[in-house]
């Protein structure tokens, strides 16, 4: 899976070259677009980082993330919480589980995966829905699969999860997020496009008063504790949901 090992410079242009002739998937289009500056995204990501400093969250943190190609959030998070503190192949304060559904992006991101330069290994048949699962000393599990399947089949109990979607909510996500919610003890953060959702969920969104409000309504006991909407060309919402105390 590691393109660099095959002598391919695994940046997005190389990937675009490899997939020439096929329409770019939404994820690949997103990865190309993020080469441009996105001040809203940076601001919203920083808001989340400040929730997970050691001061704000001194307990151990087991978190699910969607890293994209460059692992910007995870690199900062690990730096903030653990510095260079790998001990016995494990980080003291933070365990990162990560997921990416697009094989091209997954491959490209292995060039930047935290800890990948130290050591990495494939975890075979770890989960039935994951095309590939990797481990590094800094990333406990990196699945090539869909959040929707992870929500249904995953077993890990998490302290937090940041679902950072490129596109809008859809009916399948709305169906499986309550299952993931049952396994997240602390905040569940959802970032998604605040537009262009499927017609079949339009009336539910209108009735709830918006996408974030609909999520709050379908997750038992959820309250919104922060909201970081932004617009870097398209409107995005970012909601932080926790269980009612």
Ligand X SMILES: C[S@@+](CC[C@H](N)C(=O)[O-])C[C@H]1O[C@@H](n2cnc3c(N)ncnc32)[C@H](O)[C@@H]1O
Q: 26-65: which residues touch ligand X (CB under 6 A)? A: 27, 30-31, 45
Is residue 67 a contact point for ligand X (CB under 6 A)?
Answer: yes
Judged by CB under 6 A, which of 146, 216, 228, 242 binds ligand X?
146
Is residue 138 a contact point for ligand X (CB under 6 A)?
Answer: no
Judged by CB under 6 A, which of 62, 77, 98, 147 binds ligand X?
147
Nearer to ligand X, 31 or 240 (CB): 31
Is residue 228 a contact point for ligand X (CB under 6 A)?
Answer: no
Residue nearest to ligand X as judged by C-beta position? 27
The tokens for 77 are 């998070």
For 48, residues 6+ apart whose C-beta sits below 8 A from its C-beta are 73, 162, 189, 228, 238, 240
d(CA 198, CA 183): 27
What Å distances lie between residue 156 and 23, 76, 160, 184, CA to CA?
35, 23, 11, 9
Torsion over CA of 111, 116, 121 and 124, rounded to 10 degrees? -50
Q: Which residues bind ligand X (CB under 6 A)?
A: 27, 30-31, 45, 66-68, 72-73, 99-102, 105, 146-148, 164-166
């Amino acid at each position: 899976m590691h393109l660099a090992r095959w002598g391919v410079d695994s940046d997005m242009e190389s990937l675009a070259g490899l997939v020439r002739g096929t329409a770019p998937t939404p994820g690949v289009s997103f990865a190309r677009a993020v080469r441009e500056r996105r001040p809203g995204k940076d601001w919203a990501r920083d808001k989340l980082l400040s929730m997970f400093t050691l001061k704000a969250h001194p307990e151990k943190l087991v978190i699910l993330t969607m890293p994209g190609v460059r692992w910007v959030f995870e690199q900062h998070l690990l730096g903030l919480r653990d510095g260079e503190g790998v001990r016995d192949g494990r980080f003291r304060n933070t365990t990162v589980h990560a997921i990416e559904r697009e094989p091209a992006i997954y491959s490209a991101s292995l060039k930047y995966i935290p800890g990948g330069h130290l050591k990495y290994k494939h975890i075979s048949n770890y989960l039935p829905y994951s095309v590939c699962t990797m481990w590094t000393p800094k990333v406990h599990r990196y699945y090539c699969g869909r959040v929707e399947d992870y929500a249904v089949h995953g077993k890990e109990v998490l302290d937090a999860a940041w679902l950072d979607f490129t596109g809008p909510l859809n009916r399948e996500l709305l169906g499986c997020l309550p299952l993931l919610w049952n396994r997240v003890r602390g905040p569940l953060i959802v970032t998604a496009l605040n537009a262009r959702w499927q017609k079949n969920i339009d009336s539910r969104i209108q009735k709830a008063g918006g996408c974030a409000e609909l999520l709050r309504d379908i997750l038992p006991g959820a309250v919104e504790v922060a909201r970081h909407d932004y617009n870097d060309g398209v409107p995005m919402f970012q909601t932080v949901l926790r269980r009612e105390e």
